[in-house]
């Protein structure tokens, strides 16, 4: 019998020969394992957990999924953190700068933007300024501004809303606002009175 069942040489050998033989066998097995299909060898396969550990893993994964913020919301928060209006303003400013940079360096009489800017400027001594302002507002479709109420002092409310300019001065409430506004004052007065009574009793 020249070889053993696992493919090694049988019989008496020197340590050096045995070492080289073992290395050869190890390299051969390594090459075979690398050539083997991953589905057969189980290489790179995920660890399968069963029983109570599987339930715990599933619970942990569900909690992690709940905590993870979707990309769309992350992007929204990035914008909100900077300020929506500020972002819009900076984009508009950048676009305006790029547009101005694309123009030639010298400005001529036929520059449409400069002409429009000079036309939009309002001058105090201009007799047509008020008319042009009204015309511009009408063109832009601005909401008509109503005059402010100028009658007697209205009763205060928690929102600080001023009455409409057509209000006749008659209070038609059930007194809830007044009760709400005087509630804290009444409470403070009662506390002061109770404190004084306690001092008198002592």
Q: How confident is the model at residue 41 (pLDDT cuts 50, 70, 90)?
A: confident
Q: From residue 58, how far is each of 28, 49, 50 by CA, in Å? A: 41, 10, 11
Give the pLDDT score at 202. 65
Q: How confident is the model at residue 143 (pLDDT cuts 50, 70, 90)?
A: low
Q: Which of 57-66, 91-100, 106-115 has the lowest mean pLDDT?
A: 106-115
Residue in the block written with tokens 């030639």: 104
Residue 177 half-sphere exposure toward CB, CA atoms < 13 A: 12
Across 175-179, average pLDDT: 86
* pLDDT tens sequence across 44-95: 777 777 777 878 888 888 888 887 777 887 777 777 777 888 888 889 999 9
pTM to 2 decimal places: 0.29
Reduce the DSSP state of residue 45 to 3 states and report it.
Answer: coil
Q: How far, in Å, CA of 5 to CA of 97, rounded?
A: 83
* Phi/psi-derived region of residue 103, left when phi > 0, alpha when psi is between -120 and 50, beta in every other case: beta
Phi and psi angles of residue 51, each rounded to the nearest 5 degrees, phi first: 75, -145
Q: For the chain, what are the domain ranges?
A: 1-44, 46-101
């Amino acid at each position: 019998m020249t070889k053993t069942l696992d493919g090694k040489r049988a019989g008496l050998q020197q340590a050096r020969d045995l070492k080289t033989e073992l290395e050869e066998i190890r390299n051969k097995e390594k090459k075979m394992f690398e050539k083997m299909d991953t589905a057969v060898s189980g290489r790179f396969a995920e660890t399968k957990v069963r029983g109570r550990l599987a339930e715990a893993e599933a619970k942990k994964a569900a909690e992690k999924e709940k905590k993870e913020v979707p990309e769309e919301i992350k992007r929204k928060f990035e914008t909100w953190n900077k300020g929506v209006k500020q972002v819009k303003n900076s984009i508009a400013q950048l676009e305006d700068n790029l547009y101005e940079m694309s123009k030639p360096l010298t400005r001529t009489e036929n520059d449409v933007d400069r002409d429009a800017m000079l036309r939009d400027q309002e001058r105090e001594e201009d007799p047509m300024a008020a008319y042009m302002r009204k015309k511009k507002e009408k063109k832009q479709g601005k909401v008509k501004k109503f005059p402010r109420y100028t009658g007697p002092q209205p009763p205060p409310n928690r929102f600080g809303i001023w009455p409409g300019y057509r209000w006749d001065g008659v209070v038609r409430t059930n007194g809830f606002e007044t009760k709400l506004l005087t509630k804290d004052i009444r409470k403070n007065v009662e506390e002061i009175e109770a404190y004084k009574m306690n001092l008198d009793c002592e």
